[in-house]
Amino acid sequence: MVAGYPADELAAVIQSAGVDPYQPANREMVRAQLMVHGVAYEKTDEVLRYFGIDPGEPSNPGSASQGSTSGTSGGSRNNSDDYYMENGPGSPPGEEESAFNYQELESMLRAYGYDVPANATADELEALFYDALESMPEPAAAGPGNMSQCQAELEDPETISLICELYDDIGRNSELKTAKVPVGDDLTATLRRIAVQVSGGMDRLELGMPDARLCVWNMDGVVTQENYMYFGECGLWTEPLSKLVEAGAGNFNTGRVAHQAPNEMVVDQAYFLEIAIQPLTQNISVEAADTMLTSTLGTGLAPGSTETPFAISFDTVKASKIMSATLEGDDEFEIRAMTPEQQAVLPDAPTVWKWRVVPKEDGAGYLQYNLSQSLEIDGERFDRSVKTIWLDVDVSTIDDLLEDDEPPATRDTSIMASTLVAPTNNGTPEMMSASAEARCTFIEGSDPDRFAMVLSNLAYNPPISRLAVTHADGDRITDALLETGFSVQRCRDTGRSATLSALREVGRKSLARKQAGAHPATFFYYSGHGVNIDGTNYVLPVDLPGASTAEIEDGAVSFEQIFNIVSTAVASTSFIVFDACRTVMDDESRGMLRSYQPVTWSSGVFQAYATEPGKTAADDGAYSEELAQRIPAAGVPANVLFKRVQDAVARRTNEQQHPNYIDLTTGGDFYFQPE
């Protein structure tokens, strides 16, 4: 050991930089390489002596900058009689050899951007050199400095396995890169080419300051003096980089966890709840992990969207290579795991746990996710809880949901009559009259087991902008559904109460058929303004007083309400189609509201959206026209039909609008028009 390091490793790292450690003229270059690799300055004299080089008089890195009395040999270390010749002790180096040393130092300083005077003396060059050393970043406390490096070894006689650990400018963060390089006709020549490439060019290699240094494993035949400038034997690094690559699956201790669940449920309706974790690694950031999680849970944003996904809740937790997850709840919930409780966690993709949850009693209930690490201590494995998530859920019976709201109490307004005046806001009288004419008409269809509600809203009041073609959207969808046997509840410009009342009527009719032993189907279509707030999709009724979050949550109709009323609790097959997400909001509301997200917990329901998650759709009828045209097509399964609509709208809008759908139905294909 020399200065606390294996002597052969010190020699190898200096040689890999193209510097011969046994040449007295290379004294300061050797010292520089030692310091760059983390050897303390006060220990460099010991290393120099080991290599047969007189370190000269003791000094410190700053002494040269304060002046020196050195002679013609240059520098503060002037005991030239004690230098060694190239092949042993005896004579000092010649003047030409000493001059070459400082020419190299001058070139190196210029290459790194230092202003070197044209006729700089040896003292001035040495002072600049020590200034350069002082400005280098501190090496890592764990050992030799964090310098970019590449390691090569023969995977087989024809292939070189190259692994590089490349650090950033401050030497704190690194990334691993791998490559397979053919050996070619000449192994040595190939390694030299690799060395030049990873060094950043021949100039940097010749100066002994490569971007990354190359060393080789188990290639004794090519590690020769002629190749020292290009590469040396790997040695200073205690562990091959290949071990870091192989251990990639375990190279993490934290992860991002995500979950989603409804706040309202219906007795005997099945729901699928999920929780997932994505490890955070050197190459997977929080943003990348969240993107992977949203894609896995089915609510990812459209490419290029900068919006935060609403339908998923995220958190950072401790993680390990094996983790467990459970879902618990009140006795009123029937919970069945659909994935193993304990699973391997790997960085390549999120690990997902899934449960089928069926509420059995109505009332206020709770569910609880539990996520745990699985750790091995003294040969025994233990679980350590890292995250507990509580969910408060309101559970209703389908009969309660299908009951109409009690009418509001009547008030005597005669005493207020004198204070009322006609509205004068631009356009408001027309909007109010349109709302006053709001109505729902039930149109009987030919198939007793098919029920639909088609709702279109356009007569909004500021700050929510009025729409233009939504009634035309609804009319064409109504005609298409009637052609395939559906009875249609056709509603225009309804408020919240009227919307829910009409929806309940459809639910009651379908439930009656189901209870009679039939297999009814329901279809809900909406054209108008729609938004997503905190994971919940909303239909905006025309009597909504404003566009704030509180006003929407209190006065709009949620996806959960629609799902629970017309889903598999009342029908064997259900469709929910949102032709919404309009772009025309007034300035007061624009930017506050985001468009719909698919909901993966809604078992048994086919969801379709006029545009992709996180995007908005134009108010031009493109989606309804393409859908209405294809609903009556004979012999086309529903999933194929909606895929054709997706492609047609994308083509029609020059890829500006991409409809989205998610099929969570069971029991085989559904045909709107059988052959």
The distance from CA 274 to its chain's CA centroid, rounded to whole angstroms, is 18
Clarify whether residues 500 and 386 are in a common domain.
no
Most confident of 91-105, 258-272, 460-474, 530-544: 460-474
Q: Which of 206, 230, 246 is the last residue of a domain?
A: 246
Task: Assess if residue 268 is contained within a domain.
Answer: yes
Residue 415 lies in a domain: no
Please say if the pLDDT value at position 335 is more than 70: yes
Q: Are 80 and 55 in contact (CB under 8 A)?
A: no
Neighbours of 401 (CB within 10 A): 22
Q: Are residues 439 and 489 in the same domain?
A: yes
Residues 270 and 233 in one domain: no
Token pair of 589, please? 């509301």
Spatial neighbors of 644 by CB under 8 A, at least 6 apart, are 630, 636
Within-domain flag for 177: yes
Q: What is the mean pLDDT of the chain?
A: 75
Asked, for residue 419, whether it belongs to a domain, the answer is: no
Domain check: are 572 and 630 in the same one?
yes
pLDDT at 509 over 90: yes
Same domain? For 235 and 283 the reply is no
- Tell me: pLDDT of 489 over 70: yes
With contact defined as beta carbons under 8 Å apart, do 193 and 150 qualify? no
For residues 655 and 265, what is the distance between their CA atoms, to the nearest angstrom?
Answer: 37
Say yes or no to pLDDT of 671 above 90.
yes
- Are residues 485 and 544 located together in one domain of the fold? yes
pLDDT at 474 over 90: yes
DSSP 300: P
Query: Quick one: pLDDT at residue 600?
Result: 55
pLDDT tens digits along 255-269: 899 887 777 888 888
User: How many Cβ atoms are within 10 Å of 331's Cβ, its own excluded?
Assistant: 8
Sign for the CA dihedral angle at 133, 139, 145, 149 comes to negative
Structure confidence at residue 61 as a pLDDT band (50, 70, 90) = very low
**pLDDT one-digit tens code per residue, 304-331:** 333 333 356 788 888 888 899 999 998 8
* Residue 648 and residue 587 share a domain: yes
Q: What is the token pair recorded at 393?
A: 């859920």
343 vs 404: which has the higher pLDDT: 343
* Containing structural domain, residue 98: 7-134
SS3 26: helix
pTM of the model: 0.51
Model pLDDT for residues 380-394, shown as the tens digit of each residue: 777 888 888 888 888
Instruction: Give mean pLDDT, residues 543-554.
Output: 86
Sequential DSSP letters for 540-586: --TT----SHHHHHHHSEEHHHHHHHHSTTT-SEEEEEEE--BS---
- The answer to whether residue 494 is domain-embedded is yes
Residues 510 and 657 in one domain: yes
Last residue of a domain, one of 228, 246, 264: 246
pLDDT of residue 65: 35
Pairing label, strands 521-527, 450-456: parallel
- Is pLDDT of 594 > 60? no
Beta bridge partners of 265: 395
Q: Name the residue type at position 229.
A: M
Q: Are residues 212 and 307 in the same domain?
A: no
pLDDT-based confidence at residue 492 (cuts at 50, 70, 90): very high
What CATH number should be reported for the domain holding residue 555? 3.40.50.1460
Strands 380-396, 557-558: pairing kind: unpaired
Per-residue pLDDT tens digits for 626-643: 999 999 999 999 999 999
Are 242 and 264 in the same domain?
A: no
pLDDT above 90 coverage of the chain, percent: 23
Question: Is residue 414 situated within a structural domain?
Answer: no
Residue 140 domain-assigned (yes or no): no
Judge if 364 and 456 occupy the same domain: no
Q: Look at the chain and report how many structural domains it folds into.
A: 4
Q: Look at residues 134, 169, 186 and tell me which one is the last residue of a structural domain.
A: 134
Q: What is the mean pLDDT of residues 482-505?
A: 94
Q: Is residue 28 part of a domain?
A: yes
Whether 285 and 361 share a structural domain: yes
Summarised one tens digit per residue, pLDDT across range 190-230 is 999 999 989 888 888 877 778 888 888 888 788 887 888 88
| d(C-alpha 437, C-alpha 515), whole Å | 35
Strand-pairing partners, residue 344, are: 322
C-alpha separations of 44 from 123, 134, 658 in Å: 20, 15, 66
Query: Position of tokens 């935060």?
Result: 308
Whether residue 70 has pLDDT greater than 50: no
